[in-house]
Every structure is written in C-alpha cells, then in structure tokens.
C-alpha cells in the first residue's frame, strides 16, 4: 500500500461548528499529513466525534475552511473510510456487507468478491463470511466494519472510539487490526478517551478540550511532559484501564 | 350471538361445499386485491423512501398530505376513477370500465398512500441509524434510500399487510368501477353487499366470515414467511 | 426476486385480460337483477349466440345516465316517461316494450293506516299520510321511485312539500329499502319480483295490489351509436331482437319463484 498522499494533507483553517446555540468546535486550525498515526484525545464531550465528522465530511463547518489536497469530492470520498463506535451493518451476510461497499465505490463486479474475501481474511473473519452480519458478536461486527473500510484500501482511515463498546479481548483484536493497517501504510486518525490505547496505537496526539485544539505532540512527549495544564489534568484524572 | 355462531357454521358449510361460483368470486377478490397491493408496493416504497430521505421545500406539507390520503374514502376514489374511465371521460377510449383492471386501478390508488406513508415513517426512523454510515461509504440519495428500504424489509411487511387489509375490505370503489357484474367483476365484498340488499342476511354474514378467514390466512402466511426469512438474515 | 416478478406479471394478466369473449354491457335496474331474472335469461342467450351479457344493475335514472355517458350498449329499465326523455334527447334509437309486472304496496301486518284490502293505491297513500305512518321511499331516481311519486300526485298530495318525519327518503336500491322498511315496520312500494325473492321480510306483507296504477312496464333500448361510436351496435341489437322474439318472451314467462310468475312478456311486433 502506497502513501503517495493523493488526498492528504488535510488542512483545517479556523474551522468552527455551532449547533443548538452551542459552539462545539471552536476555531481549530490543523494540518493532518500522511505518515504518523494521529490520536485525537480528549474527555467525553470535548468535541472529538464532531471534529472527526468535520474532517471526514459528514458535517460542514459553520465557519472556517476544511480542504484536502484533492479537490474532487468523489476522489476525496474514495480515499477515506470511517469506522464508528457502533458498527452499522446491513441485514446481509458478512461478505455481502463488504461487497456492498465495493459496489457503492463502483468497483467492477468481477473484482468485488475477491477483494472482499481478502479484506475478511485480513481481519480474521473469513470463516464467518456467509453468516448474517447482524448475528455476529460485538467484536466480530466491529472487525467486519474494519474489513469493509479496509476493502477499498483508503488512504485515510477515521476511527471514532472503535472499542468503546467492546470487552477487553475484543478490544485487543481490534487494536491488532488497526496496527496492521497502520503498518501497511494507511493513515490512521483515531478518536479515543482511553489513554492506554492512545499510547499503544498512536504516534502523535492531538488533545482537544472544550472544542479547542489545546496541544499537539508526539505520543511519548505528550504523556511524559504534557505542555498544557488541561492535558496534564486529563492525564492525571483519567484512570487508565486495559 | 347465536346468529354469529350460525354464520360461522354457514361459512364452514360454504367452504366445504366448494361451490365453483363462490370459488370464482374468491379467486377474483384475491387477484384484484393482491394485484393492487403489488402495484402500490412497487410505487409506494420508493415514494415513501424518497420523501423520508429527501430534503426539499414543502417537505412537511407533503408528509401531511400523504398521511391524510391514507383516509381517502373508497367510494370517492371509485367515483373519481369511474369519471376518468367512463366513455364520456378522458380515458374512456381504453375501455377498461367495468373490468377487473379498473378495480385494480382504483384499489391501487386507495392503497398507495397507506404503503407510502408507513414506509416513509419506517425509513425516516431507520435513517437516523443508517445515515452516517451510508454517507461515509459514499451512498447517496436514491441509492441509499433503496438500500435502506431493502434492509428494513421485514418491518415494511406490516405496511404492506395494512394495504392488503384495506384493499380486501373495501366495497365502495370496486362497486362503482366494477359494476358488480355477475361472473366478471363480482368480488367478495360486493357479493356481501348484494346478498345483504336481497335480504339474505345469514348468507351475507357467512360470506363475511369466509372473507375474514381468507385475510387471516394471508396474514398468517405472511408472518410465517417473514419469520423464516428473518432467521436467515438476522 | 425472479419468481416474484413472474407472479406479479401473471396476476396482472389475469386481472386485466378476463374478457376475450365478445360481450355487451347492459345497464339495467336493481329490481330486475335482484329478482333473479337475468340469471335465468342470460345463459340461454349466451348459449345461442356466444355473446356474453354483462349487466350493471343500478336505479333506472342511473342506468339511463350510464347510457348517456356511453358506458352501456343497451338500457333495460322501467320508467316510461324517463325512457321517452332519453329517446327525445337522442341517446336511444328505438324503444321496445319487453314485459310488465306490477308494484305492490307492502306494510306491517298490524297496518296502522288501515289500508289492507283496498282497491285503490292512491287512496291507501292518503290514509298513510293521514295516519302519519312510517313510509320508506327509494328516493333514488329509480323506476319504482318514479312510480311512487306518480301515485302521490294522483292522491293529490305534493309530497315534496307535505312530507313529515314519517316519510323516510332513504336513497337506496330496492333491497336495502326493503331491509329498512322491515326494520322500521314501515309501508313501502315495491315491485313484485324483488319482493318474491326477498328474504328478510320481518312483519311486512302485501296489503294493496291489482290497481291499474301499479302496472309496471319494462322497456329496452339500444344506445345510439351516433352519440357514442363505441356502442356495440350489432351485438346489442342482437340481444334486443332476442328478448322481444317469441323465444326470449317465452323464457321470460317461464321464470318463476315458488311457482309464481314474476314478469309478463308483452313485446309487440
């Protein structure tokens, strides 16, 4: 998998998002480049999910700009994928869920099946290919969502608290898959409030607090000597759990 | 109460006697109502889904209108279709008045709002769950709506059965556009109306019970199919 | 999916392609239909000519309106003045007498207006009004309704102005009106044919009959093809010709309920 950066870098300039009278994202300016996996860290309600959706294009900023290197929206969409906290799967087999995503991306019919099979294999779900997706366990469903995202080999993979609803062993499996995707060259942008996970998976941390980007640093630096008081408090206040 | 019990016995007698005339009437009733439901489903599901997912000026008004049309009086629909299909009307040259085709048309008009409105509600509710993921995958507009409709197909079955209930129960529309012609456009409901007007109330009641039994059987069959399919697809 | 489409298609075909056989549409009255005459008569004609006769049964007024719209090929009704009007307007070609029967005045056996055994129906109507006894009217522009109005006129009563709550204008066909009358124990004018085959009699019985005013003539007309080119002229005329032929007239005379003849053929050549 190449990282020729076709759509990256992502540029956000003074992007804000207001809804229901509240400012949820407050003038964030940031550049996301290819390479290191980026963890968006913050407490619940800090605005991580909204920030991810702004980046991915599910929400439009109420002010400011968000731009990628690629301007064509279809090409842009094609190089991104997102995995949500709760996987939304269709009432079809696991394999059919993946081929559906390929179909939407207009991959020719002949290629869909084997790409889907490869994707399922990469997350260890090939033996469940014909099982109805909705009867899979939580961890299996999330792996399927990852396979579906992976099948198109996107340049950027967004993950919004992907293990928040899973038990520890399922969490471990998901993290293994994410690490594999990262090693294969996909840009990982992941939101989490789990400090241990951030340390395990991230190369850099973007710390968000009350809708503002407060600190950005390499992961080791962030945890050993956080520059901002908010980050320090966050690290201290959160009880890390595996 | 005894009249009801006698009517049930009468109904069983009718079914067991296997009268070919009654058989023909039952068959025609099924053909007309099922055809109408199929047509209304093919038109109504995409319509309801489109309104559920679409964003356009006047959308609220359209939703209100669609819901209100569920209550279209059958006799009014019958009258309207009659005036359209009459030789003196715009579509008279088609010559379909007083044929089963006209009855299917009238019932399709009656049933379409029911299926579309209920589908709209179901899709709108499901859209909340599916929207982000579908948009993330790049599915848009009509494609996303139809994917959703297929995914919630089991809940839509209730909407379709509601339409079937309405079609098989109504008499006003089919009476006017069909003319209740013996052997040609006489269905269960118009036969019941006819026997009532001839004063043969016990027969009318027995026929009514046969009709209810028929619709019950259809609903039971539909539920059975749904359960089997649901177990397969989750 | 494929199977579903095939079922759908055949359903549609069934529903729409029923009539491959030649047929004519006859607009007639509920009284003729409900007496069962057509069930007896039509198979004979169909067997002889292969032409299917589809009868749409409405009130006389509605049947003639159907003819005016061109939705029927033949009209077969029983209200002479209305039929003459139809002819005069150019919607009918020629009118033929077919058969007659009579009306009867029905009422509750208790007979509060004391009309039983009377020989004059107009007189009976006067008594009913005087007693303010419940009376059910068809009220639907039918031949029977028309006849009823003529009798009120003959009785010297302007019923539209002088009616009270005792006069129940139901706007229904003969059968439903009889149901209502039985339920309300009211007087009602009905044609003998419908009455003989009516099953929900309650306490109703024939109280006055035989008056000349109760004579009920049926006529048949072809809808004018000049007004409506879609009219099946040849087949429609074939039906009319048969109905007034000796064979058709005999078939009409042979129709009985409980041994009693309902209609008396009187076509002229």
CB distance B100–C228 less than 8 Å?
Answer: no
- With both helix axes pointing from N to C terminus, report the angle between B20-53 and B201-233 in degrees, rounded to the nearest 10: 50
Q: Report how many helices (DSSP H) and strands (DSSP E) chain C contains, helices first.
A: 12, 12
Q: What are phi and psi of C168, to 5 degrees?
A: -105, 105
Contact criterion met (CB below 8 Å) for B125 and A92: no
Do chains C and A touch by CB distance (3+ pairs < 8 Å)?
A: no
Report chain B residues whose CB lies below 8 A from the CB of A133. 234
For residue C215, the SS3 value is: strand
Q: Residue C269 pLDDT more than 70? A: no
Query: Cβ B92–C70 below 8 Å, yes or no?
Result: yes
Encode pLDDT of A120-166 as tens digits: 999 999 999 999 999 999 999 999 999 999 999 999 999 999 999 89
Task: Name which of C16, C56, C175 is nearest B198 (Cβ-Cβ).
Answer: C175
Query: Quick one: CA torsion of A54, A60, A61, A62, rounded to 10 degrees?
Result: -150
Number of domains in chain A: 1
| C126 and C188 fall within a common domain | yes
**Chain C: nearest CA to B181, how far in angstroms?**
6
Boundary residue ending a domain (C182, C199, C214): C214
Residues A212 and A24: their CA atoms lie apart, in Å, by 9
**Cα distance from B127 to chain A (closest Cα, Å)?**
11
Looking at the DSSP bridge assignments, the partners of residue C107 are: C205
The sheet carrying A63-67 orders its strands as A22-32, A10-19, A63-67
**pLDDT at residue C186 is higher than 90:** yes
| Mean pLDDT computed over C34-59 | 93
* Per-residue model confidence (pLDDT) at position C196: 84
Q: Which of A78, A79, A90 to mutate to test the interface with B (most CBs of B within 10 A)?
A: A90
- C269/chain B closest Cα distance in angstroms: 31
Mean pLDDT of A204-223: 93
C46 shares its domain with C109? no
> Considering the entire predicted model, what is its pTM?
0.84
Contact of C66 with C56, CB cutoff 8 Å: yes
Please check whether residue C16 is in contact with residue B185, taking contact to mean a CB–CB distance below 8 angstroms. Answer: no
Which of A2-6, A22-26, A171-175 shows the lowest per-residue confidence on average (mean pLDDT)?
Answer: A2-6
Asked if residue A62 belongs to a domain, the reply is yes
- C16 within a domain of the structure (yes/no): no
* Beta-carbon contacts below 8 Å between B and C: 96
Which of B139, B151, B232 is closest, CB to CB, to A104?
B139
Q: Is residue C15 part of a domain?
A: no
Instruction: List the Cα angle C107/C33/C80 in 5-degree steps.
Output: 75
Q: In this structure, are residues C206 and C106 in contact, taking their beta carbons and an 8 Å threshold?
A: yes
Quote the pLDDT of residue C232: 94
Contact present, B and A (at least 3 Cβ pairs less than 8 Å): yes
Residue C89 corresponds to which tokens in the numbers above? Answer: 């307007």
Task: Kindly state whether residues C92 and C110 are assigned to the same domain.
Answer: no
Asked whether the beta carbons of residue B101 and residue C15 sit closer than 8 angstroms, the reply is yes
The rounded distance, in Å, linking the Cα atoms of B6 and A67 is: 78
Q: Which of B113-117, C11-15, C179-183 has the highest mean pLDDT?
A: B113-117
CB-based contact, B90 to chain C, within 8 Å: no
Given this model, what pLDDT does residue C8 score?
A: 61
- Which CATH number characterizes residue A200's domain? 3.40.50.300
Binary contact (C230, B184; C-beta < 8 A): no
What CATH number is attached to the domain comprising C143? 3.40.190.10
A49 vs A40: CA distance, rounded Å: 9
> Would you say residue C17 has pLDDT above 60?
no
Complex ipTM value: 0.89
Compute the average pLDDT of residues B88-102: 92
In a domain, A93, yes or no: no
Is residue A87 one of the residues assigned to a domain? no
Please report, rounded to a whole number, the percentage of residues in chain B having pLDDT higher than 70. Answer: 100
Residues C209 and C118 in one domain: yes
B134 neighbourhood in chain A, CB within 8 Å? 88
- C6: contact with B, CB 8 A cutoff: no
One domain for residues C115 and C191: yes
- Mean pLDDT score of chain B, rounded to an integer? 92
Q: How many helices (H) and strands (E) does chain A have?
A: 9, 9
In a domain, A232, yes or no: yes
Q: Please, what is the Cα angle at A110 between A105 and A111, to 5 degrees?
A: 55
The answer to whether residue A174 is domain-embedded is no
Domain holding A15, by residue range, is: 1-79+191-242
Q: Which helix or strand (DSSP H or E) is residue A242 part of?
A: none
Q: Residue A242: pLDDT above 90?
A: no
Q: Check if the beta carbon of residue A206 is closer than 8 Å to that of residue A213.
A: yes
Chain A residue with minimum CA distance to B152: A91
- Residue C1 belongs to some domain of the structure: no
For chain C, give the mean pLDDT: 89
- Contacts with B, C 220-249, CB within 8 Å: 228, 230
| Whether residue C195 is found in the same domain as residue C139 | yes
**Cβ–Cβ contacts within 10 Å for residue B36, how many?**
30
Question: Are the C-beta atoms of residues A206 and A38 closer than 8 Å to each other?
Answer: yes
Chain B CB contacts of C15 under 8 Å are: 31-32, 35, 100-101, 103-104
Is A201 part of a structural domain of the chain? yes
Partner-chain contact A82 B136, CB within 8 Å:
yes
* pLDDT, tens digit, 9 for 90 and up, residues C67-84: 999 999 999 999 899 999
Task: For chain A, list the contacting chains (3+ Cβ pairs, <8 Å).
Answer: B
Interface of B with C in 10-49 (CB under 8 A): 31-32, 34-35, 38-39
Instruction: Tell me the β-bridge partners of C264.
Output: C100
Task: Answer whether B147 sits within 8 Å of A90, measured CB to CB.
Answer: yes
Q: CA-to-CA distance for A165 and A174, rounded, in angstroms?
A: 12
A5 in a domain, yes or no?
yes
Segment C107-111 mean pLDDT = 93
Identify the structural domains of chain B with CATH numbers, from first to last. 2-233 (1.10.3720.10)
pLDDT of residue A240 exceeding 60: no
Q: What is the pLDDT of residues B172-221, one digit of tens each?
A: 999 999 999 998 999 999 999 988 888 788 889 999 999 999 999 999 99
Nearest in space to C185 (alpha carbons), one of C197, C168, C198, C172: C168
Domain coverage including residue C253: 21-100+217-265
Residues C106 and C206 in one domain: yes
Give the model's pLDDT for residue B181.
93
- Nearest Cα of chain B lies from the Cα of A226 at a distance, in angstroms, of 34
**Are A58 and B135 within 8 A, CB to CB?**
yes
What's the confidence (pLDDT) of residue A1? Answer: 38
Whole-number pLDDT of residue C259: 87
B151 and A77 within 8 Å at the Cβ level: the answer is no
Q: Report the domain count for chain C.
A: 2
Q: Which of A95, A152, A91, A98 is nearest to A126 (CA)?
A: A95
Query: Is the domain of C109 the same as that of C58?
Result: no
Q: Using one digit for the tens of pLDDT, what is the confidence trace for A80-122?
A: 999 999 999 999 999 999 999 999 999 999 999 999 999 999 9
Let me know whether C132 and C49 are in one domain.
no
Residues C169 and C208 in one domain: yes
């Amino acid at each position: 998998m190449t990282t020729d950066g076709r759509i990256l870098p992502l540029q956000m300039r003074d992007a804000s998002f207001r809804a229901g009278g509240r400012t949820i994202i407050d003038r964030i300016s940031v550049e996301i480049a290819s390479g290191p996996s980026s963890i968006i860290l913050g407490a619940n309600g800090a605005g991580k999910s909204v920030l991810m959706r702004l980046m991915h294009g599910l929400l439009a900023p109420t002010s400011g700009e968000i731009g990628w290197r690629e301007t064509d929206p279809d090409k842009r969409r094609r190089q991104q994928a997102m995995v949500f906290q709760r996987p939304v799967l269709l009432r079809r087999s696991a394999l059919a869920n993946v081929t559906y995503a390929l179909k939407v991306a207009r991959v020719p019919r002949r290629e869909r099946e084997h790409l889907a099979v490869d994707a399922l294999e990469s997350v260890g779900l090939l033996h469940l290919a014909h099982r109805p997706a909705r009867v899979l366990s939580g961890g299996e469903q999330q792996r399927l969502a990852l396979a579906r995202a992976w099948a198109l080999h996107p340049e950027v993979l967004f993950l919004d608290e992907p293990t928040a609803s899973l038990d520890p062993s399922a969490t471990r499996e998901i993290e293994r898959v994410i690490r594999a995707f990262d090693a294969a060259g996909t840009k990982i942008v992941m939101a989490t409030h789990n400090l241990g996970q951030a340390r395990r998976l991230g190369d850099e941390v973007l710390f968000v607090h009350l809708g503002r980007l407060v600190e950005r640093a390499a992961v080791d630096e962030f945890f050993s000597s956080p520059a901002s008081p908010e980050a320090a408090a966050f690290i201290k206040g959160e009880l890390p759990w595996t | 109460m005894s009249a009801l019990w006698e009517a049930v016995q009468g109904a069983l007698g009718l079914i067991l006697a296997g009268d070919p005339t009654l058989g023909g009437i039952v068959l025609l009733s099924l053909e007309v109502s099922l055809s109408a439901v199929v047509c209304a489903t093919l038109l109504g599901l995409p319509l309801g889904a489109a309104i559920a997912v679409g964003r356009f000026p006047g959308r609220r008004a359209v939703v209100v209108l669609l819901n209100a049309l569920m209550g279209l009086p059958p006799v009014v629909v019958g009258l309207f279709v009659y005036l359209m299909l009459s030789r003196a009307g715009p579509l008279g040259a088609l010559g379909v008045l007083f044929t089963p085709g006209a009855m299917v048309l009238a019932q399709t008009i009656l049933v379409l709002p029911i299926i579309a409105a209920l589908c709209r509600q179901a899709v709108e509710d499901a859209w909340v769950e599916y929207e982000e993921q579908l948009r993330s995958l790049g599915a848009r507009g009509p494609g996303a709506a139809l994917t959703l409709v297929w995914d919630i197909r089991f809940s839509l079955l209730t909407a379709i059965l509601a339409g079937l209930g309405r079609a098989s129960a109504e008499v006003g529309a089919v009476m006017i556009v069909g003319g209740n012609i013996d052997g040609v456009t006489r269905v269960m409901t118009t036969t019941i109306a006819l026997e009532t007007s001839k004063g043969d109330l016990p027969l009318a009641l027995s026929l009514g019970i046969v009709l209810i039994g028929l619709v019950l059987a259809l609903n039971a069959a539909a539920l059975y199919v749904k359960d089997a399919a649901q177990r397969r697809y989750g | 999916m494929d199977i579903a489409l095939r079922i759908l298609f055949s359903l549609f075909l069934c529903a729409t392609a029923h009539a491959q056989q030649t047929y004519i549409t006859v607009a007639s009255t509920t009284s003729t239909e409900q007496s069962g005459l057509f069930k007896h008569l039509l198979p004979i004609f169909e067997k002889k000519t292969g032409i299917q006769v589809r009868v749409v049964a409405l009130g006389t007024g509605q049947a003639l309106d159907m003819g005016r719209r061109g939705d029927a090929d033949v009209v077969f009704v029983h209200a002479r003045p209305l039929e003459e009007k139809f002819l005069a307007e150019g919607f009918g070609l020629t009118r033929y007498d077919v058969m007659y029967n009579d009306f009867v005045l029905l009422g509750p056996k208790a007979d509060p207006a004391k009309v039983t055994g009377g020989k004059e129906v107009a007189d009976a109507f006067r008594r009913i009004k005087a007693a303010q006894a419940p009376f059910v009217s068809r009220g639907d522009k039918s031949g029977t309704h028309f006849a009823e109005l003529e009798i009120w006129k003959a009785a010297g009563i302007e019923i539209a102005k002088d009616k009270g709550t005792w006069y129940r204008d139901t706007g229904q066909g003969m059968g439903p009106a009889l149901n209502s009358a039985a339920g309300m124990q009211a007087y009602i004018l009905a044609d003998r044919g419908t009455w003989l085959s009516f099953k929900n009699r309650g306490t109703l019985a024939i109280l006055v009959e035989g008056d000349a005013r109760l004579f009920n003539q049926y006529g048949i007309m072809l809808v004018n093809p000049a007004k409506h080119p879609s009219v099946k002229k040849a087949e429609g005329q074939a039906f009319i010709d048969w109905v007034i032929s000796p064979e058709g007239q005999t078939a009409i005379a042979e129709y009985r309920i409980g041994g009693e003849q309902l209609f008396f053929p009187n076509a002229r050549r």
